[in-house]
Structure 1
Amino acid sequence: MRNDRRMKGPRVNNRKVIRKIALKTVKANHRKSMVVIAAIALCTFMFTALFTIGGSIVSKFQESTARQSGGTSDASIKNLTKDEYNRIAADSKLKEVSKRVYVGNVVNTELLKLYTEANYCDETSAKKGFCYPEVGYLPVKEDEIAVSSLILQAFGMDARNTSEYELLIGSILPLQIETGKGVIEKEFRISGIYTGDRISMAQMVLVSKAFQDKYSPTPTVSFYEDGFMGTVDDLYGRICADIDFYFPFDVSGQTYKTVVRNGLPDNAEIGVNWASSVGTMDLTTVLLMITMLATFFVSGYLIISNVYRINIYTDIRSYGLLKTVGTSSRQLRNIVKWQSVYHAVPGIIMGMIGGLIVGSLLLPLVMSQLVFSETTDNKAVINVWVLAFSILFSYITVRLSVRKAVRLASKVTPIEALRYTENVSACKTKKHNGKFTPVSFALRNVFREKKRCFYVVLSLALSLVVLNSVYTMIIGFDESKYISNYVKTDFSVADAITDNLGATGQTYDGVTDSFISELKKQDGILGIGNIYAEQYCYQELGDRDFARFKERLLDNENVDTWMRDGASYAAGDGEIEYLSESTGTVAKVYGMDDYAVRNLDFVQGKYDTDKFKTGKYIIVNEYNNGGDKESNLVPYFLPGETIAVNNNAGETREYEVLATVSIPFSMRIQYYTDMDVNYVLPSEEFLDFFGDRTPMRTLVDTTDEAEPVIEKWMADYTSNAEPSLKYSSRAVYRKEFDGLIGMFKVVGGLLTSVLALIGILNLINTLVTSVLSRRLELAMLEAVGMTKRIQRTSICFEGIVYGGLALIFGMILSSVFSVLLVKSIGTEMWFYTYRFTLMPIMIVTPVMLIVTVIIPVVIYSRTMKETVVERLRLADA
């Protein structure tokens, strides 16, 4: 009955007719259709470029993190027997299980700086662990191995690309492998080579199953027998089961259930791959992504909605004729909807292709400023999700944008359609001395449809907001702060893995005497300063020193709050409780030459070279909660106080505190402990107290003229003479900083240009719509005495009003965005100093006003070519 009441006539299947009319309309008005398709393509272009760059970076980060963690498997269950592994491998609730067997460590002296394990891996495990041979094959015979390129380079072989790999296949490599049956010295034949990555926790030498069974056979007794784990010597031959789940959520919980389900004890050692687990983004990143998506979405909506409004106004007579011959409102709505579909398909395809191309070109620029694995390429990752999200967002934008046009088309009556003009009574006209003025006429036209005015102003203002935000970001980047974080002087030299915390087995005495000797021979050297280091030295604080330490730090409520907010310890079991009970702390102790000491940032006290060189004085850092202000610092000890320092051999010496300092990150061991106590002694005293060694780092200062020459010499020496060394220089990081600025300029400039283009197109569309829909009104006014000059002037004022409002709202929105978003993003970067500015808007103001004057003149001239009589005939049409 309900359907009968709704039906006002016979049910007719006219869907094909409606689609046919929509398609013919699109083809007949090909110029207007191209404008709509271009608008949709522009919207899709923005979404696709964003998703291409963002999706690729996420994928690259996952790969880089997976290389660091050791593989792509979701989790692993370690130290298994064959029986335990077989039970897990047969578990039907697991997506995939692969085998990795620990054989031992490779202990050749050539690999002292490159932690290397020997393992047997099946094919799946090798592929997931990034150690499957790129050239050659997995070892089969007892004397065959597959190795990484870094291992071969450590032995002095040329192994930098696959063409060089091929030449090394079949070569002999002597290795010393510490196995379950002792150290095995054996000459192996290289069967396969893969590209190694220093960020990996260990380099892998893959041995054959035959070698593993012979020298590190898998034990038959469970590692977890009797409820406790075995000894370190019992690790040889143990199987690690790398597992993948069908749904990688709650990986830790799923792994624990797998352990229980397969009869393993609760204390079985498991590992969850942090690269595979679903992570969390900080609030700033989430806010930035939402803001960018919202900006693109609103911009796309504004332009597409405006374009469809124009189409409705220009085609409204056709809709009136269709209604005259019996077309219902519902059918008209469907016609407009199908038109949007025919516009959307080519528009989305064109925009997607453009977005993929531009996103792929911009990706290397963006990636060059981010930290990835050495082996991570900068090619765009194009997957189905990038395409799906681009299509989805673009199509949703189109459907939302066309809704108002659909309503307009469906509500129009035949008579209104044939004689359509915009509502002239929507706003009362103000007069000046009893006459119309161009300004009052323009204001009436602008505000007669307030929603349209709002959308045009918002569209123009968005481009100003993005422009100002990008400029604010760029001027906030502090070049000196950025460079000093990596190198305090002109050059800094250290071992290649000293500062690589992703690698295993950092060395803190890697600068050789031969390098220092060669360095001193170079011309233009102004200063050389060596830094020696003892990375871990437990300090037994006596009653006197502990009382000061406790008063200033352990009993300090601010320190307790800072540490609990950032500590990795459980509440109640943190560093403060531990120190209170143990009355000791871990300290890093440095020995520094006079030139190096002068580059420290002194906080309290005064540096006296002669005093310090006597070896009776010490310099101490201050506790820092992570801020860059002196108010964030708390002293451990104060100048003038005497403290006791012990070395790892148990010897104790007393020193007077000369000064307190903040040690620049580029000069120190580049990780922090909770209390992070650092002592600085003169080099001679340090070497006498902590033992003779070579420097951890050497700082170099040169004349301006000699800097490029020394740069060239450093690059050649560290590449050829001593590849184990790595140098940093101001020039390198200045170039890197310029690249970072360049990335923001290119990406921000592109985004600003696209949004500015959208804003201008919206302005053009609005003015065209206004003029076309008011042709009859303007003709009548011209017939009673209003000249074309007045009309043209009034339309120019319309453009100026839109531009002026856009500038006002642009300034307001830019101020809000700058303070709330840009500042919060910038403060997350240690080299950023926020500076509020609206300078870019001031600069573009005259340009925008000129554009908003020229556009109306052109539009009026092109759309008002008909005579007054021809335009008046619209009333009788």
Structure 2
Amino acid sequence: YNIASPKYFRYMYSGSEDGIKDNFIDEIENQKGFKGGGALYSYGYEYDYPDIKIEDHKVAPILLGIDDYLINKQKFIDGVFDKEKWQTGNYIIIGEFGNKKSLFKAGDKIKINLKNKVKKVQVMGKVEYNFSNGLRYFPVIKEDINDESSPTLGLEYIYMKPNEYKELTGDKSIMSYGFDVEDSEKENFDKLLKTFENEPDFSYDSRDLQIKSFKDFKNLIEFVGYSLSIVLFLISVLNFINVIATEILRNMVNLSILEAIGMTKKNIKKYLVKKNLIYSLCGLVFSFIIMLLVDKYILIGFMEQAKWTSYKFVIMPLILVNFVNIIIGIIFTGRFYEKHSNNSLVDRIRSLE
């Protein structure tokens, strides 16, 4: 679970006035089934470059206080967490978002300057930064805060031991509080948190809510995808029927002449079926080539950008459409020709002259 003010979840957290109240945390920690939790501290917009900076580097540091419990849940991409060193207060952890690499690496020593109050620290390691362990927005900080055309500074997310963070910033507000509970007590915690939601300064999120939200989003994508597929399927089938009907009507004179010189209706039907099967086979080959090109040059690259998705090439829908076209090419062709060749041969040739 993760609790915070409604503004935090609406990407509007600005500072201490938007922090979560201690009384909510106290009641949660005293609830049966509570396993453990940790707080994330942030001053929001209170400090900005150049009030806060890293000496000898033109970057915009975003300081965050973080409890040990939350650190143990982070994925380290550089270095390892050493609890004994962390307790000294002389170490920090860098947060890295996606492909935006930090200037610093494990072992680097830096000086954090907040209104001329300097804190010398060493980088213990780097973790993946995301909305679950930081601000839910990305500040845009200019080198010259009075000039919008000045260069935008790179952001450096810096996690500190809470006591050191409070001492340096003077801020004690808790931005969010994450905790775990016993599985058997989840229902009771859900009820408790829903009662807290009656308060205007409380909101929460949980793994179950995220799963439900993701499933709803997945169902929406599937609904749109299947609806579009059905529409395209119907269009393709109707179009193929139209091609067959047009081809037969357009060549009715030639077909009637073939029948007049001795070709039976049965042979003509076989000829038409074979012709339409060739159409269907050509459509299958052409569509398969298009699918391969779209797959290689569009879909694979697009899906790689969405890390929560996986993609594989599926040919079964194309085979199903082609199978329906084959059935149509066999059944519809024969019946359609039969219907339009009921008149006598003389009448058909005369009417089509």
TM range (shorter): 0.7 to 0.9
Query: Does the 8 Å contact 1:601/1:663 carry over to 2?
Result: no
Equivalent in 181, 186, 189 of residue 710 of structure 1 = 189
Relative contact order (alpha carbons < 8 A, sep ≥ 6): 1 or 2 greater? 2
- Number of the residue aligned with 1:787: 264
Deviation at 1:617, TM superposition (A): 2.0
Question: Is 1:835 paired with 2:302?
Answer: no
Could you say which structure has the larger radius of gyration? 1
Q: 1:521 aligns with which of 30, 47, 51?
A: 30
Counterpart amino acid of residue 248 in structure 2? V
- Relative to total residues, which structure has the larger helix share, 1 or 2? 1
CA deviation map 1:214-263 (0-9, x unaligned): xxxxxxxxxxxxxxxxxxxxxxxxxxxxxxxxxxxxxxxxxxxxxxxxxx
Match of 1:635 in 2: 103
Task: Give the aligned residue type for 2:229.
Answer: T
Deviation track 1:292-314 (CA, whole Å, cap 9, x = no partner) reads xxxxxxxxxxxxxxxxxxxxxxx
1:837 corresponds to which letter in structure 2? F
Is 2:233–2:321's contact at 8 Å kept on the other side of the alignment?
Answer: no
* TM superposition shift of 1:512: 1.2
CA distance in 2, matches of 1:769, 1:807: 20
Distance 1:774 1:836, change over 3 A: same
Correspondence 1:815-834 to 2 at 5 A: 815-822=292-299, 830-831=306-307
In the alignment, which of 482, 487, 494 is matched to residue 4 of structure 2?
Answer: 494
Amino acid in structure 2 at the alignment position of 1:835: Y
C-alpha distance in structure 1 between counterparts of 2:180 and 2:335, whole Å: 62
**Correspondence list, 1:465-614, <5 A:** 491-501=1-11, 505=14, 507=16, 510-535=19-44, 536=47, 538-539=51-52, 541-542=54-55, 546=56, 549=57, 579=58, 585-614=59-88
Q: Tell me, yes or no, if the aligned pair for 1:511 and 1:725 is still in contact at 8 Å.
A: yes
Cα distance in 1 for partners of 2:189, 2:43 equals: 29
Q: Does 1:672 align with 2:181?
A: no
Shift of 1:694: 3.6
Question: Offset at 1:697?
Answer: 0.6
Q: CA separation of 1:643/1:758 partners in 2, compared to 1, >3 Å: closer, same or farther?
A: closer
User: Which residue identity lines up with residue 590 of structure 1 in the other structure?
Assistant: L
After TM superposition, list the pairs within 5 Å mapping 1:150-161 onto structure 2: none
Q: Give 1:635's aligned amino acid.
A: L
1:736 to 206, 213, 216: 213
For 2:24, what is the secondary structure of its paired residue?
A: helix
Q: Helix, strand or coil: the match of 1:498?
A: helix
How many Å apart are 1:725 and its aligned residue?
1.5
Check 1:749–1:833 CA distance in 2 against 1; reply closer, same or farther (3 A cut).
Answer: closer
- Per the alignment, do residues 873 and 848 of structure 1 end up closer, same or farther by CA in structure 2, a change over 3 Å counting? closer
Q: Cα distance 1:787–1:595, how it changes in 2: closer, same or farther (>3 A)? A: farther
Corresponding residue for residue 803 of structure 1: 280
The correspondence for 1:655, drawn from 121, 125, 142, is 121
Letter in 1 for 2:133: M
Q: Which amino acid aligns with 2:81?
A: Y
Counterpart of 1:534 in structure 2: which amino acid?
Y
Q: Structure 1 pair 790/508, CA: closer, same or farther in 2 (3 Å)?
A: farther
Q: Distance in 1 between matches of 2:246 and 2:215?
A: 45
Conserved in 2, the CA contact under 8 Å of 1:494 and 1:696?
yes
Structure 2: segments with no counterpart, 5+ residues:
141-152
Q: Give 2:338's aligned residue.
A: 861
User: Percent of aligned positions with the same letter in both sequences?
Assistant: 25
CA deviations over 1:115-142 (Å, ceiling 9, x no partner): xxxxxxxxxxxxxxxxxxxxxxxxxxxx
Match of 1:760 among 218, 237, 250: 237
Q: Name the aligned partner's letter for residue 498 of structure 1.
A: Y
- Within a 5 Å distance, the mapping from 1:398-409 to structure 2 comes to none
TM-aligned CA deviation for residue 685 of structure 1: 3.3
- The aligned residue for residue 645 of structure 1 is 112
1:664, distance to aligned residue in structure 2 (A): 1.6
Q: Offset of 1:703 from its aligned partner?
A: 4.3
Q: Tell me the distance in 2 between the aligned counterparts of 1:692 and 1:504.
A: 14
How does the TM-score come out when normalised to structure 1? 0.35
Please state how far the C-alpha of 1:712 moved relative to its aligned partner: 3.9
TM-score (ref. length: structure 2): 0.80
C-alpha deviation, 1:740, in angstroms? 2.9
Distance change (3 Å), C-alpha of 1:737 and 1:867? farther
Which secondary structure does the structure 1 equivalent of 2:226 belong to?
helix
* Change beyond 3 A, Cα 1:726–1:825: same
Aligned equivalents of 2:14, 2:348: Cα separation in 1: 85
Residues 848 and 763 of structure 1: CA distance in aligned 2, closer, same or farther (over 3 Å): closer
In structure 2, C-alpha distance between the alignment counterparts of 1:861 and 1:804, rounded to whole Å: 24
